[in-house]
């Protein structure tokens, strides 16, 4: 009896040491990266593209930037707010009033493949009876503008630029979808937009772009906590009289950091060892509970 | 206070999950069950994706059954030979179960299958337990003796081949029933995110005719190994084990179990079984409700898994 207690204690000690060592490595990784985050003017993550401007006629040009180009997903991540700001650089002689211009900002997340399913009642219970898979669906789609989209430009212009929930690319992933009746396909597409909006992953803020003076504008966008980690493409469109005058593109990187990065990487790159680690942790926790409380739970 | 769960990819309220772990731990300490059948539905109701709920429950049950099994071991209440046969069947069952989970997720019917399994098994076992405990309460109130099953009695199970001697349980029966029972429990454990004790314990008492004092310890022995295997399988095949969530639940559960065990000692056996039956039926009814009532949203979206 005494011998068993000693063996259990030694086992407990070894497992406790392993757990503490893992925790120390993970937390030191988190702290080290957190210190690097101070925003000195250092080159950002290699994936960030340099800002580009396109001025089709050499007249007015929109320039923009994003307050944080890199958002870290740490253990305290609970969503984030992105501030986009910019200016209209007018080189024409005639300077129309600010009201002549409209800004539309579109932020698109990582494209993903997703499946929409529809339930129906079969033998008294509700179950999934039909599905359609879409590819290249942006995991996040936010659209902020100075006015309602319908007031800014014509539907075919917006559709060509893929601006607006109606125009979000939802490509069919397989040939099966082409055989579906049009209204069913439309119902699936509408469901994707509706469900994404309810999760706050598709957002729309008409009148979300605010001007200070004639040229300086800003907009804030919410990234919810369950957004897919990766690169977000931000495009700023400048419209005048319903026509596109200029665009500007920039990127935001949402990256895992510290403990989150370590655990996610561990779970997806070494899944078997992650499972073993989970078991070791569970057994250690069980042994710890048994020793500390000393009385049988069952 | 929130923590971002690395596998569930959502931010979780730490106190909520500690509290859930403690509440279920309390009930599991009181009734002497694993608590998986209660925790997995609770996790699903609180917004954790069902596959992650099932995968994350496996290590949590390992932790709590290790604690319980050790306690029973110290009292020599474990039939290791029987337990080993059960766990061999259990490991095969766990492998089958994890692949079934993978296949169901790919065709988008996993959630339905889990709900149906819960409704079926909890409904059946809850009803049986309820009837048995009511009968026992009535008998004890009428002053009759409430004797348990006598281990020596034979039934059809004892006629099967491959007989082995189980000294601790004083049995000489075929190895087939424990293998099949273990496999069945292993499959359910992987699919439903439970330990399986609520099926194994009655089956051991009524089907295998094991003496009651060995049943709980042997069942816990099997559950430890099978849920450990399920954890590794879910992690490597489906990547659905969230270690942070599991830690939160374990921490709460261990504390809750101690209070539960103390509270449970104040009640009589048949009263506890009656309450447990009630709880089991409640969870089963809740899951059935979700299946039958017209949902507010007919559509759902999820990441596409497997091949296109």
Provide, as residue numbers in chain B, all residues whose Cβ is less than 8 Å from the Cβ of A225: 2, 4, 10-11
pLDDT at position A16, please? 56
Q: Does A6 touch chain B (CB under 8 A)?
A: no
Out of A49-58, A224-233, B202-211, B298-307, give the one with best mean pLDDT. Answer: A224-233
Q: How far apart are CA A184 and CA A118, in angstroms?
A: 10
Say whether B241 and A188 touch across the interface (CB within 8 A): no
pLDDT tens-digit readout, B61-93: 888 888 888 878 887 888 888 889 999 999 999
As a whole number, mean pLDDT of residues B82-108 equals: 90
Q: Is a pLDDT exceeding 60 seen at residue B101?
A: yes
Residue by residue, DSSP assigns B171-228 as EEEESHHHHHHHHHHHHHHHHHT---HHHHHHIIIIIS---HHHHHHHHHHHHHHHHH
pLDDT tens-digit readout, B15-43: 999 999 999 888 887 777 778 888 998 89
Which of A 249-278 lie inside 8 A of B, CB atoms?
256, 259-260, 263-264, 267-268, 271-272, 274-278
**ipTM confidence score:** 0.84
Low-confidence spans in chain A with pLDDT less than 70: 1-58, 91-98, 294-298
pLDDT at position A283, please? 92
pLDDT tens-digit readout, A1-30: 444 555 555 555 555 555 565 555 545 444
Closest by CA to A106, choosing from A236, A207, A245, A219, is: A236
pLDDT at position B145, please? 57
Q: How far apart are CA A188 and CA A192, in angstroms?
A: 6
Query: Which residues make Cβ contacts (< 8 Å) with residue A141, sequence separation at least 6?
Result: A106, A107, A108, A109, A165, A168, A196, A201, A202, A203
Token digits for A250? 């920039």
- CB-closest option in A117, A275, A276 to B299: A117
Q: Is a pLDDT exceeding 90 seen at residue B237?
A: no
As a whole number, mean pLDDT of residues B229-241 equals: 91
Q: Does B296 touch chain A (CB under 8 A)?
A: no
Select from A168, A273, A279 the residue whose CB has the most chain B CBs within 10 Å, as the one to mutate to test that interface. A279
State CA B194 to chain mean position distance. Answer: 3
- A211 near A217, Cβ under 8 Å? yes
Task: Kindly provide the b/e burial profile for residues A93-114, where b requires at least 16 CB atoms within 10 angstroms of the residue's own CB.
Answer: eeeeeeeebbbbbbbbbbebeb
Terminal Cα-to-Cα distance of chain B (whole angstroms): 39
Q: Does A279 touch chain B (CB under 8 A)?
A: yes
For strand A61-66 and strand A101-108, is the pairing parallel, antiparallel, or unpaired? Answer: unpaired
Token digits for A232? 């977000």
Provide, as residue numbers in chain B, all residues whose Cβ is less than 8 Å from the Cβ of A123: none
Residue with tokens 């295997």: B229
Residue with tokens 């993550």: A45
Which of B 122-161 lie inside 8 A of A, CB atoms?
none
∠ CA B5-B8-B10, nearest 5°, is: 60
User: What is the overall mean pLDDT for chain B?
Assistant: 84
As a whole number, mean pLDDT of residues B46-71 equals: 87
């Amino acid at each position: 009896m005494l011998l068993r207690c000693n063996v259990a204690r030694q086992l407990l000690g070894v497992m406790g040491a392993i757990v503490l060592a893992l925790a120390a490595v993970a937390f030191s990784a988190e702290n080290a990266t957190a210190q690097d985050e101070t925003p000195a003017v250092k080159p950002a993550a290699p994936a960030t593209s340099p800002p580009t401007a396109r001025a089709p006629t050499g007249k007015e040009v929109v320039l923009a930037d994003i307050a944080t180009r890199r958002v870290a997903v740490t253990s305290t991540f609970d969503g984030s707010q992105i501030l986009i700001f910019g200016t209209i650089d007018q080189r024409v002689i005639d300077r129309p009033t600010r009201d002549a211009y409209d800004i539309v900002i579109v932020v698109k997340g990582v494209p993903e493949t997703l499946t929409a399913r529809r339930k129906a009642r079969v033998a008294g219970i509700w179950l999934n009876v039909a599905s359609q898979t879409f590819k290249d669906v942006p995991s996040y789609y936010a659209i902020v503008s100075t006015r309602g989209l319908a007031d800014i430009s014509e539907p075919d212009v917006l559709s060509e630029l893929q601006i607006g929930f109606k125009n979000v690319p939802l490509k069919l992933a397989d040939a099966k979808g082409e055989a579906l009746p049009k209204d069913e396909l439309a119902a699936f597409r509408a469901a994707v937009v509706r469900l994404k909006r309810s999760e706050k992953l598709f957002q729309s803020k008409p009148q979300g772009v605010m001007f200070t003076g004639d040229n300086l504008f800003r907009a804030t966008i919410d990234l919810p906590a369950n957004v897919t980690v990766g690169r977000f493409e931000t495009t700023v469109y400048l419209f005048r009289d319903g026509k596109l005058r200029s665009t500007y593109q920039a990127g935001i990187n949402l990256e895992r950091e510290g403990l989150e990065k370590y655990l996610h990487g561990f779970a997806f790159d070494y899944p078997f060892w992650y499972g073993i680690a989970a078991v070791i942790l569970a057994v250690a926790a069980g042994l710890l509970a048994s020793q500390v409380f000393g009385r049988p739970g069952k | 206070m929130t923590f971002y769960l690395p596998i569930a990819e959502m931010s979780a309220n730490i106190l909520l999950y500690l509290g859930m772990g403690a509440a279920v731990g309390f009930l599991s300490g009181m009734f002497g069950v694993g608590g998986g059948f209660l925790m997995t539905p609770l996790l699903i109701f609180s917004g954790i994706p069902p596959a992650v709920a099932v995968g994350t429950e496996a290590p949590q049950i390992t932790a709590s059954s290790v604690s319980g099994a050790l306690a029973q071991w110290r009292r020599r209440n474990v039939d290791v030979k029987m337990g080993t046969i059960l766990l061999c069947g259990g490991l095969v069952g766990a492998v089958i179960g994890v692949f079934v989970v993978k296949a169901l997720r790919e065709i988008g019917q996993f959630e339905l299958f889990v709900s149906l399994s819960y409704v079926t098994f909890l409904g059946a076992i809850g009803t049986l337990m309820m009837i048995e405990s009511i009968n026992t309460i009535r008998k004890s109130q009428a002053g009759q003796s409430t004797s348990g099953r006598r281990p020596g009695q034979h039934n059809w199970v004892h006629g099967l081949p491959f007989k082995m001697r189980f000294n601790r349980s004083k049995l000489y029966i075929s190895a087939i029933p424990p293998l099949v029972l273990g496999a069945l429990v292993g499959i359910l454990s992987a699919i439903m995110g439970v330990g399986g004790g609520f099926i194994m314990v009655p089956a051991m008492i009524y089907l295998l005719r094991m003496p009651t004092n060995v049943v709980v310890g042997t069942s816990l022995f099997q559950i430890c190994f099978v849920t450990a295997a399920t954890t590794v399988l879910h992690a490597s095949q489906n990547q659905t084990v969230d270690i942070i969530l599991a830690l939160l639940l374990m921490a709460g559960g261990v504390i809750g179990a101690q209070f539960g065990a103390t509270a449970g000692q104040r009640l009589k056996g048949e009263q506890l079984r009656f309450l447990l039956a009630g709880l089991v039926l409640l969870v089963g009814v809740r899951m059935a409700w979700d299946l039958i009532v017209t949902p507010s949203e007919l559509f759902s979206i999820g990441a596409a898994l497997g091949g296109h």
